[in-house]
């Protein structure tokens, strides 16, 4: 980063402006004046040899579900435009400001974060960074595109069933979902109390780790160098490898070959019973739908639900019909299953698998509701398992030809061992993608 913060900020703002209408679909708000002032202040600190944090002077966007003082938090929904303005910044936004980050704007998202596709009929759908005719992935749609297109250096998103990792995979960037308790969600508009997490998207694991330390309120300690040789990596073949594009499977197998050449012990892990359990357990209704129904109870009572994206409304409405007894039973079973999953992966250093089993489909191909719902379930399938089990996970970009759509490699760690996962992912990324060396 030989350029000054002001220069890099100007470039990011120019990239947003040059995108025209597409830029307006990627960002719901752009903080041109305040970003410039923050960049000037960062350069002044740098000139004095002062650094507030590893994010001092880094250009950061925030998903449109984090409160910013004096603004209504719309969470991708037009019904929230006239909501009361936030009295204060979300805690993670406060931490970013205190860290010296340049907050460049708010990125677009799926309405109420309730889909992995990224389509938004209210504020427009950001096109995929590789091909604007393809989906961006959601729900942190603008976040993934903004990083990939140089409109910010780091984006802060949320991940309830894959909403950081899916847009990372589909746009060719890196994303990290922490263990849920690691980062506060105070001041973030919720989708699911049980499953919501807050995490970064960036060009590489190192930047994600630096952002994670700020979001978690921890002092930054450089990542320790780790060795690949001798690592025991589990591959959960089975359900999560079905319905996959050949391009995804080929990129995955090529990554395995590179890891094997480095002395990694690659072991097929028989985890299908535990992997299938969250889907079987929630066939009669999901935790997300139940909790979203409660969160949006007042909205439906007011009659404003008529203004919602029909696909989002249908999922919330489904949650209204789920009995409390089912919700409690799922929560009870989840606690037991988490213990079983922790035990099942105890002998592995990591699990790896495709983040999303398909490359980004065309937006037009999902205009039919049935096609949308089928694809949404498929896109969410792999990452959502690890939200259910509350383990940290990252998506790393795999090498692709310039003409090819991106593919992501998901790296999964153990519950509460976020730092360990980031160190191993950093090491892994330099081998499988060449873009995680920082």
Catalytic residues: 63, 139, 163
Q: Distance between CA atoms of 44 and 41, rounded to whole angstroms?
A: 5
Q: Which residues pair with 408 in a beta bridge?
A: 397
- Residues 136 and 128 sit within 8 Å (Cβ to Cβ): yes
Q: Distance between CA atoms of 59 and 1, rounded to whole angstroms?
A: 12
Instruction: Give me the count of residues in the chain.
Output: 438
Nearest Cα residue to 101 out of 162, 34, 158 = 34
- Extract the runs of DSSP E, i.e. beta strands, from 108-248: 154-159, 174-177, 197-202, 232-235
Handedness of CA 208, 58, 124, 149 (dihedral sign): negative
Q: DSSP for 358-405?
A: SPPPBGGGG-SHHHHHHHHHHHHHHHHHHHHTT--EEEEEPP--TTSP
Nearest Cα residue to 289 out of 313, 306, 310 = 313
Measure CA 332 to chain center: 27
Measure CA 239 to chain center: 22
- Residues 189 and 141 sit within 8 Å (Cβ to Cβ): no
* Tokens representing residue 381 in the block: 């399938």
8-state DSSP, 416? T
* Tokens representing residue 396 in the block: 């790393």
């Amino acid at each position: 980063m030989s350029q000054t913060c002001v220069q890099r900020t100007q470039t990011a703002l120019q990239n947003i402006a040059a995108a025209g209408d597409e830029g307006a679909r990627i960002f719901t708000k752009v903080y041109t004046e305040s970003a410039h002032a923050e960049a000037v202040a960062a350069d002044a600190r740098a000139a004095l040899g002062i650094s507030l944090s590893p994010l001092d002077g880094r250009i950061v966007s925030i998903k449109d579900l984090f409160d910013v003082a004096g603004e209504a938090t719309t969470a991708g929904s037009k019904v929230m435009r006239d909501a009361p303005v936030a009295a204060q910044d979300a805690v993670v936004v406060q931490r970013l400001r205190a860290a010296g980050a340049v907050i460049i704007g708010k990125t677009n998202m799926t309405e109420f974060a309730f889909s992995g596709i990224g389509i938004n009929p209210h504020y427009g759908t950001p096109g995929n960074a590789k091909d604007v005719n393809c989906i961006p992935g959601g729900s942190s749609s603008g976040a993934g595109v903004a990083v990939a297109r140089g409109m910010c250096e780091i984006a802060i998103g949320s991940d309830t069933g894959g909403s950081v990792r899916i847009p990372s995979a589909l746009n060719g960037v890196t994303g990290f979902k922490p263990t849920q308790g690691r980062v506060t969600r105070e001041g973030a508009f919720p989708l699911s109390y049980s499953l919501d997490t807050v995490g970064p998207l960036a060009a590489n694991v190192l930047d994600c780790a630096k952002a994670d330390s700020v979001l978690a309120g921890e002092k930054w300690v450089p990542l320790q160098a780790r060795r690949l040789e001798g690592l025991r990596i589990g591959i959960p073949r089975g359900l999560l490898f079905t319905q996959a594009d050949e391009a995804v499977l080929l990129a995955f197998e090529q990554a395995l070959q590179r890891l094997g050449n480095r002395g990694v012990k690659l072991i097929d892990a028989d985890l299908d019973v535990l992997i299938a359990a969250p889907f079987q357990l929630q066939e009669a209704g999901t935790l997300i739908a139940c909790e979203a129904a409660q969160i949006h109870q007042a909205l439906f009572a007011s009659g404003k639900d008529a203004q919602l994206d029909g696909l989002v409304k249908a999922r919330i409405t489904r949650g209204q019909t789920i009995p409390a007894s089912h919700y409690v039973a799922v929560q009870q079973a989840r606690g037991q299953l988490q213990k079983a999953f922790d035990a099942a992966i105890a002998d592995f250093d990591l699990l790896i698998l495709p983040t999303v089993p398909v490359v980004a489909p065309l937006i037009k191909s999902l205009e039919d509701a049935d096609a949308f719902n089928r694809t949404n379930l498929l896109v969410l399938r792999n990452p959502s398992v690890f939200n259910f089990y509350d383990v940290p996970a990252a998506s790393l970009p795999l090498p692709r030809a310039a003409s090819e759509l991106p593919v992501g490699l998901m790296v999964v760690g153990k519950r509460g061992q976020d730092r360990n996962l980031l160190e191993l992912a950093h090491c892994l990324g330099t081998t499988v993608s060449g873009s995680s060396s920082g």
